[in-house]
Amino acid sequence: MSKERSEILMEYLVTRGFIWPSFEIYRSMVEVGGFYDYGPLGVELKRNIIEKWRRVFIYPYQDIIYEIETPIIMPEIVFQASGHLEHFTDYIVECLKCGRKYRADHLVEEELKKRGINIRTEGLSERDIEKLIIEHGIRCPQCGGELSKVYRFNLLFRTTIGPYSNNVGYIRPETAQGMFVSFPRVFDLAGRKLPFGIAQIGKVGRNEISPRQGLIRLREFSQMEIELFFDPKNPTCPFLDDVRDVTVRVVTEDEVKKAIEEGRDPVPIELKPKDIIERRIVPNEWMAFYMALAVVYLNELGIPVDHQYFLAKLPEERAHYAACAFDQMVYSERFGWIEVSGLAYRTDYDLSRHEKFSGRELRAERTLEKPIEVETVRVYPNPQKIREVYGDKAREVMKLIASIDEENARRLASGESIKLGDYVISPEMVFIKVEKRKITREKFVPHVVEPSFGIDRIVYVTLEHAFTLVDGDKILLKLPPDIAPIKVAVLPLVRKEPLVSIGVKIARELYRKGLKVLYDDDGSIGTRYSRCDELGIPIAITVDDRTVEDNTVTLRDRDTKMQVRAKISDVYNIVRSVIEDRKNLLNLGKELGLELVERA
C-alpha cells in the first residue's frame, strides 16, 4: 500500500468512526501510545469478527469446547507459576542524551535495514544485540545520542489488589492463564473426558516499550484463545475430515533456517492437513487441524489464502512454554507480513507448573491396555513422636500428614524430611507402609495445543483487504456481508410521502428482527448509494414510486451495483440469506425468479 493510500485508509477509519487514538484531548500534554478507541462502526465490526470466530472455532465443536470468562487482573503467584515473571521480557535500550527508550531488537533491525542490511534479531541475547549496536555505530534516531547498554524489561502491568502494597497483582498478558487456573472446574463440567477445550475472548495488557503502527502493536488489546487439552498417548483429532480439503501454506523450521543462512525471505509450501501430519511438520493432529481452521477463518474475513501462511518458530524464538510454535502471517500492503495469530504446542508445561505452585492436582485419568503392578508408599502419623516435637499442635500436624501425596511419601521413605505448611516432618514422625498392587487406570497431566488470535490486528488486516479505491478517489469497503457493521440501508428514492413512511416502516421491521440498519433520505440517491458503499453496507433497499403501486422495492448489491426487485414481505428473508447464508444477491434473485434491474 502506497503511503498516500495508507494515509487515506487511516484518515477514513478515523473520520468514519472505526478507530481513533485514545486520550486525544490530552495528546499535547502526555505521550501515551499503544491505546486506541473503537468508534461505533469499529465496535460493530470487531463484534462481528469475534462472532465469526465463535462460528468457526466454537459452535461446530461445542460438545467439547467450553467458553468462559476470567478476570483480567490476577495475583502474582499465577504469573510466578506460568513463568511470565521470569520470561515475559523484551530488550530495551535508552538514549544517554535525550532519555528516549527503544525496544532494542526492533531498533537494530530498522536502523540496519536503512543501510541495506537485513538481520533477524529474534532469539538473540541482549549481549548479541548490544554487540550489533556497537559494531554498526547505531545511535538514537531522534537526537543522534549514544545508546546505553541493552537490558531486559518485563512487559507485565503491575498493580496491587486491595489496600495492601504487598498483595501484588498483574494485568494478564494473555487470556490463557485464566483457563489453566480454571481447568479443574471446567474439566468436571466436561465430564472429565478428553479431548476437551476451554475458550476465552477478552482484553489483555502488555506494557510494550515503544508501541506504534496503530492497531498492529498495542498496550491493551483483545485476544481469542482456545486451550485444547488432550491425552499425549492418544493425540488423535476426530475433526480432521472437516478440513481435509483446505490448503495451508507453511514455512517449515528447515526452510526458516535455510532462508536465514541464505539471507532471503522464506518460501511457504502448500499442503493439506494430512500432508502436514505425515511430514511431521507438526507434532500432533490438533495443530494441523487448527492451522486449517485458521486459514478458513481468515479467508471468510476476506483475506485470500495466498495472503497468509504459517511461519515456524525456531527453538530459540519460541515462548518459554512452547515445544513447537507457528505464527500465522498475513500480508499487509502497509506493514508487510505481520503475525495475526499463533499456534503453540504447550505440552503439559502450564498445568504442571500450576499443579506444583498451587498444590492442587490438575490431572486426568486413562484406562491402561493391560493392568500393571505398581509400588505405592503410604505414610501414617506417629502420634507419640509428633507430640514430642509439636506438643499441642500435634493434631493439626497429623491432619496434614493424612493428606500427604505420593511424592512426599516417597521422600520420607527414603529418609528425607519434608515441609508441610509451617511444619517440618521427619521420617520418625510417620509409619511407612510399602504396598504393591495392580492398577487398570493411571493419572497424567493433559497436554495442550493453543490457537491464539489477536483481534485488533485481524480487524486492521480485514479492513485493509476490504478497502478499495474506485475511479481513483471513491471508497468501496468490500467487507463480507456477515461481518459488515451495517447490514442494510433503507433509502426512499426522494424525501416525500408515502415513500418516507414506507421506508421507516421497513427499517423498523428489520431493526426488530436484529439487523443493524441505516435509514437515509437526505440527498440524491446516487450520493446515498456512494455513502453506503463507503460504509461497507452490502445491501441497499430503495423505496420508489412503484413501491406504492405493487409493494415491491429494489435491493442493490454493493459490489456489482446490480439490483433485484422483490416484495417487501420477502425482503427480510432475502437479506438474511445474503448475510447469514452468504448467498450472492444476484444468484439468489435468479433462484427466486426475481426481476433484475440495471446497475445503480
What pLDDT, in 10s, does the model give residues 109-161?
999 988 888 888 888 888 999 999 999 999 999 999 999 999 999 999 999 99
pLDDT tens-digit series, residues 271-292 = 999 999 999 999 999 999 999 9
Cell triple for residue 442?
493411571
Once rounded to an integer, what is the mean pLDDT over residues 580-588?
A: 91
Per-residue pLDDT, 560: 92
| Residues sharing a CB contact under 8 Å with residue 153, sequence separation 6 or more, in sequence order | 89, 90, 91, 92, 207, 209
311 three-state secondary structure: strand
Q: Determine, yes or no, domain membership for 82.
A: no
DSSP state of 55: I
Q: Please determine, for residue 268, whether its predicted confidence score (pLDDT) is greater than 90.
A: yes
Q: Please determine, for residue 1, whether its predicted confidence score (pLDDT) is greater than 60.
A: no
pLDDT-derived band at 5, boundaries 50, 70, 90:
confident
Q: Which domain holds residue 182?
A: 1-77+155-363+445-472
Q: Determine, yes or no, domain membership for 481.
A: no
Whether 358 and 269 share a structural domain:
yes
Whether 354 and 396 share a structural domain:
no
Query: d(Cα 290, Cα 293) in Å, to the nearest integer?
Result: 5
Cell triple for residue 273?
492437513
| Residues sharing a CB contact under 8 Å with residue 216, sequence separation 6 or more, in sequence order | 335, 338, 457, 460
Per-residue pLDDT, 439: 83
Amino acid at 150: V
pLDDT tens-digit series, residues 27-75 = 888 878 899 999 999 999 999 999 999 999 999 999 999 999 999 999 9
Per-residue pLDDT, 144: 94
Per-residue pLDDT, 369: 84
Amino acid at 525: I
CATH at 114: 3.30.40.230
Query: d(Cα 78, Cα 170) in Å, to the nearest integer?
Result: 9
261 three-state secondary structure: helix
Q: Determine, yes or no, domain membership for 375.
A: yes
Q: Tell me the HSE value of 54 on the side-chain side, using a 13 A CA sphere.
A: 12
Q: Determine, yes or no, domain membership for 480.
A: no
Whether 575 and 502 share a structural domain:
yes
Per-residue pLDDT, 436: 86
Least confident piece of the model among 124-128, 304-308, 445-449, 526-530: 124-128
β-pair type (336-347, 324-332): antiparallel
CATH at 232: 3.30.930.10
535 alpha carbon, distance to own chain's centre: 26
Going across the sheet that includes 73-75, the strands are 73-75, 168-171, 157-160
Task: Please identify, among 104, 135, 154, the residue that sits at the C-terminal boundary of a domain.
Answer: 154
Vertex 572 angle, CA 568 and 577, to 5°: 130
Query: d(Cα 206, Cα 184) in Å, to the nearest integer?
Result: 27
Query: d(Cα 227, Cα 248) in Å, to the nearest integer?
Result: 21
Whether 345 and 377 share a structural domain:
no
Expressed in angstroms, the distance from the first to the final Cα of the chain is 29
CATH at 565: 3.40.50.800
| Residues sharing a CB contact under 8 Å with residue 77, sequence separation 6 or more, in sequence order | 357, 358
Nearest to 308 by CA among 462, 463, 467, 451: 462
Cell triple for residue 9?
485508509
Per-residue pLDDT, 499: 97
Per-residue pLDDT, 33: 86
Q: 87-101, 117-131, 295-309 — which one is most confidently predicted on average? A: 295-309
Whether 299 and 435 share a structural domain:
no
The answer to whether 246 and 308 are in contact (CB under 8 A) is: no
Whether 228 and 291 share a structural domain:
yes
Whether 149 and 26 share a structural domain:
no
Whether 231 and 376 share a structural domain:
no
Query: Percent of the chain having pLDDT more than 70?
Result: 99
Going across the sheet that includes 269-271, the strands are 65-68, 196-205, 220-230, 447-454, 336-347, 324-332, 308-312, 248-251, 269-271
β-pair type (467-470, 488-492): unpaired
Query: d(Cα 170, Cα 252) in Å, to the nearest integer?
Result: 35
227 three-state secondary structure: strand
Query: d(Cα 585, Cα 590) in Å, to the nearest integer?
Result: 9
Q: Please determine, for residue 599, whether its predicted confidence score (pLDDT) is greater than 80.
A: no
How many domains, in total, are found in the chain? 4
Q: Determine, yes or no, domain membership for 493.
A: yes
Whether 196 and 332 share a structural domain:
yes
Query: Percent of the chain having pLDDT more than 90?
Result: 82
Per-residue pLDDT, 103: 92
Query: d(Cα 400, Cα 598) in Å, to the nearest integer?
Result: 83
Per-residue pLDDT, 3: 54
Q: What are phi and psi of 431, to 5 degrees?
A: -100, 135
Whether 136 and 279 share a structural domain:
no
Mean of the per-residue pLDDT values for the chain?
94
Per-residue pLDDT, 2: 55
pLDDT tens-digit series, residues 168-226 = 999 999 999 999 999 999 999 999 999 999 999 999 999 988 887 889 989 999 999 99
Nearest to 460 by CA among 2, 184, 15, 49: 49
Per-residue pLDDT, 156: 94
Whether 333 and 453 share a structural domain:
yes
pLDDT-derived band at 230, boundaries 50, 70, 90:
very high
- Classify residue 260 by burial, with Cβ atoms within 10 Å: 0-12, 13-18, 19+: middle
Query: d(Cα 312, Cα 318) in Å, to the nearest integer?
Result: 9
Vertex 474 angle, CA 473 and 475, to 5°: 110
Cell triple for residue 134?
556497537
Q: Determine, yes or no, domain membership for 478.
A: no
Q: Determine, yes or no, domain membership for 479.
A: no
Least confident piece of the model among 195-209, 305-319, 394-408, 476-490: 394-408
Least confident piece of the model among 253-257, 352-356, 375-379, 452-456: 375-379
pLDDT-derived band at 440, boundaries 50, 70, 90:
confident
Q: Please determine, for residue 437, whether its predicted confidence score (pLDDT) is greater than 90.
A: no
Please tell me whether the peptide bond between 498 and the residue prior to it is cis, using omega within 30 degrees of 0. yes
Q: Determine, yes or no, domain membership for 84.
A: no
pTM of the model: 0.88
Cell triple for residue 291?
492451522
Whether 146 and 190 share a structural domain:
no
